[in-house]
Amino acid sequence: MTSQLNVDTIVDKAGSGGTNVKIANTSVTVAEGGSATTTTVQGLNKAWHLASNDSALTDSFNVSGGTDNGTGDYSYALSNGMNSANYSVAGVCAEDATRNQHTKARATGSYTVKHANLDNESARDCANSSNVCGDLA
């Protein structure tokens, strides 16, 4: 027989009302349809940023700052590094659909993206955003 826990509120053991719930990296989430599962920790976004066209952060999660390396070339530092440089960075130029973004370089503590015009691949500055998925260190 399986166990089930039904509660309205979880509080810390000091009783202060705060919560600090930890889940193991082996925890599984059941999909909406009920038949498929995914590892919860693997499915979480590990970092994201929204930045202006000079790499200044407008908002972010696990990104400590940006660097403008030149026209359309931006690097972003991770507050908590990744396990290896084998992670995914997906992003967009937030200003104009005629520009693309690609990942130029990835390191465990940072990533670099490049923006260019779609028609001629010339470098262009633009406000941008990225999402990072993979394994934290």
What is the tens place of the pLDDT at every residue in 86-96?
Answer: 999 999 987 77
Domain that holds residue 73: 47-133
Q: List the beta bridge partners of residue 112.
A: 75, 105
Q: Are 76 and 110 in contact (CB under 8 A)?
A: yes
Domain-located, residue 33: no
Domain-located, residue 90: yes
| Arithmetic mean of pLDDT over the chain | 90
Domain-located, residue 87: yes
DSSP string, 50-108: EE-TTS-EEEEESEEEEEEEETTEEEEEESS-BSSS--EEEEEESS-TTEEEEEEEEET
Q: Are 101 and 74 in contact (CB under 8 A)?
A: no
Q: Are 57 and 65 in contact (CB under 8 A)?
A: yes
Domain-located, residue 120: yes
**What mean pLDDT do residues 93-117 have?**
89
Provide the Cα torsion 70, 74, 78, 81; round to 10°. Answer: -90
Q: Are 25 and 41 in contact (CB under 8 A)?
A: yes
Q: Does residue 1 surpass a pLDDT of 70? A: no
**What mean pLDDT do residues 114-122 have?**
90
| Token couple for 25 | 């990296």
DSSP string, 33-62: TSS-EEETTTTS--EEEEE-TTS-EEEEES
Domain-located, residue 91: yes
Percent of the chain at pLDDT > 70 equals: 96
Q: What is the pLDDT of residue 28?
A: 87
How many structural domains are present in the chain? 1
Domain-located, residue 94: yes
Domain-located, residue 26: no
What is the tens place of the pLDDT at every residue in 7-48?
Answer: 887 777 777 766 777 788 888 888 888 888 888 888 889 999
Q: What is the pLDDT of residue 33?
A: 85
**What mean pLDDT do residues 92-121 have?**
89
Question: Which pLDDT band, with edges at 50, 70 and 90, does 128 fall under?
Answer: very high
Domain-located, residue 14: no
Q: Does residue 76 surpass a pLDDT of 90? A: yes
